[in-house]
């Protein structure tokens, strides 16, 4: 299993803390059942932390006309919104919530040229809060795609997230389903698409980043 580089420090600290705790548990004069139970809890917690930083292998073929999920998680919003930062007009928004148990790698939903990136410090409202898109810590990226035009996607910190990592640089050309960032702990990613784009997922659906197609270019009859 490959682990993400953003987890190196956290994992090493977790291993060191667990090792000291296990040493303390087995050095104490506790009943054997208590020692084994406490040790099992520590090992499970360590396993969860390590699993959080796993990097799955996603190497399916890419459909150039499709918009892919930028993250693993649950579709929590499909709605028309007014986008105030970049477009200043109406867009279709698909929001994906990542629980602490999901993979937290973020992938480009489309390929093209990066035209805009901006990090915003902010609050840590729960990720499904209506104002989290505009008030939470967040990072915005816009990619110009030849078929869809400009597609905006935004990493949004949740109540637990304290660090958003974005690797996009304006002017660079990027491939669809390649990695563009990572968010530590529970969080959300919004994708804002041109009006008329065909949405191919439903509210409450579980999606897989760089694998599930969430939208396509509008097909005209």
The residues annotated with a catalytic role in the active site are 187
pLDDT, averaged per 10 consecutive residues of the chain (221 residues), comes to: 76 84 80 83 84 77 88 95 95 93 91 96 64 75 96 85 84 94 84 96 96 86 50
pTM listed for this prediction: 0.81
Would you tell me how many other CB atoms lie within 10 Å of the CB of residue 93? 20
Least Cα distance to 104 among 146, 53, 144 occurs for 53
pLDDT at 60: 67
Q: Which residues pair with 123 in a beta bridge?
A: 136
Least Cα distance to 133 among 181, 187, 89, 179 occurs for 187
pLDDT at 84: 92
pLDDT at 144: 97
Phi, psi angles (nearest 5°) of residue 49 = -65, -45
Instruction: Summarize pLDDT for 74-102 with one digit per residue, the tens.
Output: 999 999 999 999 999 999 999 999 888 88
pLDDT at 20: 80
* CB 210, CB 58: distance < 8 Å: yes
Q: How many CA atoms lie within 13 A of 220 on its CB side?
A: 0
The rounded distance, in Å, linking the Cα atoms of 90 and 193 is 9
pLDDT at 208: 95
The rounded distance, in Å, linking the Cα atoms of 15 and 49 is 10
pLDDT at 71: 95
pLDDT at 129: 58
């Amino acid at each position: 299993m490959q682990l993400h580089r953003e987890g190196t420090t956290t994992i090493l600290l977790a291993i060191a803390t667990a090792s000291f705790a296990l040493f303390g548990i087995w050095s104490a004069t506790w009943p054997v059942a208590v020692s084994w139970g406490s040790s099992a809890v520590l090992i499970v917690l360590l396993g969860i932390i390590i699993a959080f930083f796993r990097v799955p292998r996603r190497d399916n073929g890419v459909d150039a006309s499709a918009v892919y999920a930028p993250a693993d998680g649950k579709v929590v919003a499909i709605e028309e919104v007014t986008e105030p930062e970049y477009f200043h007009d109406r867009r279709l928004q698909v929001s994906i919530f990542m629980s602490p148990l999901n993979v937290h790698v973020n992938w480009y939903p489309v390929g093209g040229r990066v035209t805009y990136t901006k990090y915003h410090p902010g609050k840590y409202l729960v990720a499904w809060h209506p104002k989290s898109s505009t008030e939470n810590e967040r990072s915005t990226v816009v990619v110009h795609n030849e078929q869809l035009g400009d597609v905006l996607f935004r990493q949004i910190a949740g109540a637990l997230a304290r660090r958003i990592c974005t690797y996009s640089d304006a002017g660079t050309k990027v491939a669809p389903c390649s990695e563009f960032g990572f968010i530590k702990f529970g969080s959300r990613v919004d994708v804002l698409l041109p009006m008329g784009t065909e949405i191919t997922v439903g509210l409450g659906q579980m999606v897989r980043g760089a694998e599930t197609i969430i939208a396509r270019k509008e097909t005209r009859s």
